[in-house]
């Protein structure tokens, strides 16, 4: 990634970009799967970009990671004891699940270099991988789901967008395979992109899950360093989901967010009808 | 406003900016109050910037304007018949209030050049000013509120941010003056900035209104072309506000938004406690 006068820019389209002033470029590597860049930014601290798109920053990662873990956590019939994370090589999702008290987490990341970068630059997140309750596997999540004999209470798809290596994680076939490895009452969640700029991701996730699960819902949240600042997640279960009472809060998540994040603006509703 | 290689950039800080590729710069003037720029952008259509900050774009103005009108509209005891708009020289707020069936609207804008620019470039919004139900006054909203003998069911502060000409519109003194010109059950709303980048605006509006009104509430929405994509509004009344049933929807607003927009993330709650 070439920096122009110490600015890192994420192109949202040919005609729109968000730019971060950078004090240092700490890393730029091409792995077997993607390009990884690590910048030290003035406003958001360390920033991890994959193929030119912001994955996480020190300052606002809490919003994405709370939303992708704490919302589905409250939709299982009883607190989930174990979980599968596909992607999430930074460790942020595993870290939150440990904080929520889960006893066993399998985290399947395809690219070991994401894990290495996180170990160097986001130790507070990657520390999850040193916890005895977390089993980190470097392999293709699609193959893992096809072949494993383990079953889970919660499945989290913490992937990049549906172009490149993550494309198969937004397919009906993949969701059918996840169905097989669900315990009774289990819930699956996937990040599903910006409803404003990437209607494709939300449509893929929603229609794919609708073909497999009985109860499928979309929720949204505000993430300032992601395109448009507005992000969607799609959550589903073969069983009707019922919200358990919320007694914890994070820096973003709380009981109000648990309810309010499912109340969708009209244009988002229209994307999924 | 100087364009760099046909990109207009709004600086959110010294270290962060959102940039729009521009096919044409249609106007750049310095008025008695502020600098006004008008760009034709590829992704958002025509874009109006004041002092370098995006005020509205053709593509996403509906979100801001629906939120600042349709939410408070549903918080008066019966549908409001008349309203005062301070700012809003583009006509977007007046236009939505007409659509909602209001019979009499006074729109007080300090800068006639904002109105002129809107008449040229946003005719679908500024058409509101040709409607017999709308009285447009070019004067200082603070003075108007101090001196008028009219009273209103709904007061909308559709201003720029609390630096420059709009600063006085975020003060307790100003809110006290608005109290005097409220009909029974009236509601006042003000845009109050990005909770993420501009905690000052929301704190000013909230604490100023708390000093004057009994029922003060904050709601938020997603606006992709405003800093961080996440925006707040503060609404208040001397009387307890009760939500009327929502039977209409816009492109953003609907019954779910009416409820969900008041459910605040934890870090926003902490700004106003």
* ipTM of this predicted structure: 0.95
In this structure, which topology does domain A7-55 adopt according to CATH? Answer: Spermidine Synthase; Chain: A, domain 2 (2.30.140)
Mean confidence (pLDDT) of chain B:
96
CB atoms A269 and B259 under 8 Å: no
* 8-state DSSP, A4: B
Q: Which of A15, A42, A257 sits opposite B42 (nearest CB)?
A: A15
B62-90 residue pLDDT tens: 999 999 999 999 999 999 999 999 999 99
Separation of alpha carbons A187 and A241, rounded Å: 8
**If one looks up domain B7-57 in CATH, what number appears?**
2.30.140.10
* Whole-number CA gyration radius for chain A: 18
Only one residue has tokens 């198969």, namely A168
Q: Which residue out of A224, A225, A253, A255 would a mutagenesis test of the B interface target, given it has the greatest number of B Cβ atoms within 10 Å?
A: A224
Q: Is B123 an 8 Å CB contact of chain A? A: no
CA angle B145, B73, B152 (to 5 degrees): 30
From chain B, the residues in CB contact with A253 under 8 A are 265-266
In this structure, what is the dihedral angle of CA atoms B90, B92, B98, B99, given to the nearest 10 degrees? 150
Tokens read off for B2: 């100087």
Q: Are A83 and A155 in contact (CB under 8 A)?
A: yes
Residue B25 clears pLDDT 90, i.e. is over it: yes
Q: Is B19 an 8 Å CB contact of chain A? A: yes
**Closest residue, chain B, to A59 (C-alpha):** B196
Only one residue has tokens 């999924």, namely A272
Question: Residues 45 to 64 of A: which have CB under 8 A from any B CB?
Answer: 63
Chain A nearest C-alpha distance from B20 (Å): 5
Residue B1 clears pLDDT 70, i.e. is over it: no
Only one residue has tokens 């006004």, namely B36
Residue A74, CA distances (Å) to A244, B198, B243 in order? 5, 31, 28
CA angle A232, A235, A239 (to 5 degrees): 160
- What is the reported pTM? 0.96
Which member of B153, B158, B161, B177 is catalytic? B158
Question: Residues 195 to 254 of A: which have CB under 8 A from any B CB?
Answer: 196-197, 220-222, 224, 228-230, 249-254
DSSP reduced 3-state for A166: helix
Q: Which of A16, A265, A266 sits opposite B43 (nearest CB)?
A: A16
Give me the total of CB pairs closer than 8 Å, taking one residue from chain A and one from chain B: 131
Q: Helix count (H) and strand count (E) of chain A?
A: 9, 12
B188-241 residue pLDDT tens: 999 999 999 989 999 999 999 999 999 999 999 999 999 999 999 999 999 999
Count CA atoms within 13 Å of residue B34 on its CB side: 22
Chain A nearest C-alpha distance from B141 (Å): 32
From chain B, the residues in CB contact with A267 under 8 A are 251-252
Only one residue has tokens 């630096």, namely B163
Task: State the pLDDT at residue A161.
Answer: 87
Q: Is A237 exposed, middle or buried (0-12, 13-18, 19+ CB in 10 A)?
A: buried
Count CA atoms within 13 Å of residue A188 on its CB side: 32
Separation of alpha carbons A261 and A233, rounded Å: 10
Task: State the pLDDT at residue B269.
Answer: 97
**Closest residue, chain B, to A256 (C-alpha):** B263
* Domain B61-271 architecture: 3-Layer(aba) Sandwich (3.40)
Residues of chain A with pLDDT under 50: none
CB atoms A260 and B257 under 8 Å: no
Give the count of beta carbons closer than 10 Å to the beta carbon of residue B10. 17
Separation of alpha carbons B94 and A118, rounded Å: 50
Chain B nearest C-alpha distance from A40 (Å): 12
Separation of alpha carbons A41 and A48, rounded Å: 10
Q: Does residue A37 have an active-site annotation?
A: no
Q: Domain map of chain A by residue range?
A: 7-55, 61-271
Burial B105-117 (b: 16+ CB within 10 A, else e): bbbbbbbebbbbb
Output the 3-class SS for B14-33.
CCEEEEEEEEEEEEEEECCC
Task: State the pLDDT at residue B164.
Answer: 79
Question: What are the φ and ψ backbone dihedral angles of A96, each rounded to 5 degrees?
Answer: -65, -40
CB atoms B19 and A14 under 8 Å: no
**Nearest alpha carbon to residue A235 among A219, A211, A255, A257:** A219
From chain B, the residues in CB contact with A251 under 8 A are 266-267
Residue B2 clears pLDDT 70, i.e. is over it: no
Alpha-carbon dihedral sign for residues B197, A70, B233, B36 = positive
Q: Are strands B82-87 and B104-109 parallel, antiparallel or unpaired?
A: parallel
**Closest residue, chain B, to A270 (C-alpha):** B251
Separation of alpha carbons A96 and A37, rounded Å: 24
Which member of A37, A90, A158, A177 is catalytic? A158
The answer for residues whose C-beta is within 8 angstroms of residue B183's C-beta and 6 or more apart is B151, B152, B153
């Amino acid at each position: 990634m070439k920096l122009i006068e110490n600015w890192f820019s994420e192109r949202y389209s040919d005609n729109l970009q968000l730019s971060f002033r950078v004090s240092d470029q700490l890393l730029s590597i091409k792995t077997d799967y993607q390009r990884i860049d690590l910048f030290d930014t003035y406003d958001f601290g360390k920033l991890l970009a994959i193929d030119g798109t912001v994955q996480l920053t020190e300052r606002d990662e809490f919003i994405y990671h709370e939303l992708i873990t704490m919302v589905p956590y409250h939709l299982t019939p009883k607190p989930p004891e174990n979980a599968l994370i596909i992607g999430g090589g930074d460790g942020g999702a595993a870290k939150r699940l440990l904080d929520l008290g889960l006893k066993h987490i399998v985290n399947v990341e395809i690219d070991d270099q994401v894990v290495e970068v996180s170990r160097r630059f986001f130790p507070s997140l990657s520390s999850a991988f040193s916890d005895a309750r977390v089993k980190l596997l470097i392999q293709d999540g699609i193959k893992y789901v096809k072949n494993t004999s383990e079953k889970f209470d919660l499945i989290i798809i913490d992937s990049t967008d549906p172009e490149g290596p993550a494309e198969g994680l937004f397919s009906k076939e993949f969701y059918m395979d996840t169905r097989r490895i669900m315990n009774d009452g289990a819930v699956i969640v996937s990040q599903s992109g910006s409803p404003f700029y990437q209607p494709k991701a939300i449509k893929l996730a929603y229609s794919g899950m609708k073909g497999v699960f009985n109860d499928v819902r979309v929720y949204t949240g505000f993430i300032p360093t992601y395109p448009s600042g507005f992000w969607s997640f799609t959550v589903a279960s073969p069983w009707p989901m019922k919200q358990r009472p919320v007694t914890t809060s994070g820096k973003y998540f709380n009981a109000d967010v648990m309810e309010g994040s499912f109340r969708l603006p009209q244009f988002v509703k229209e994307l999924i009808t």
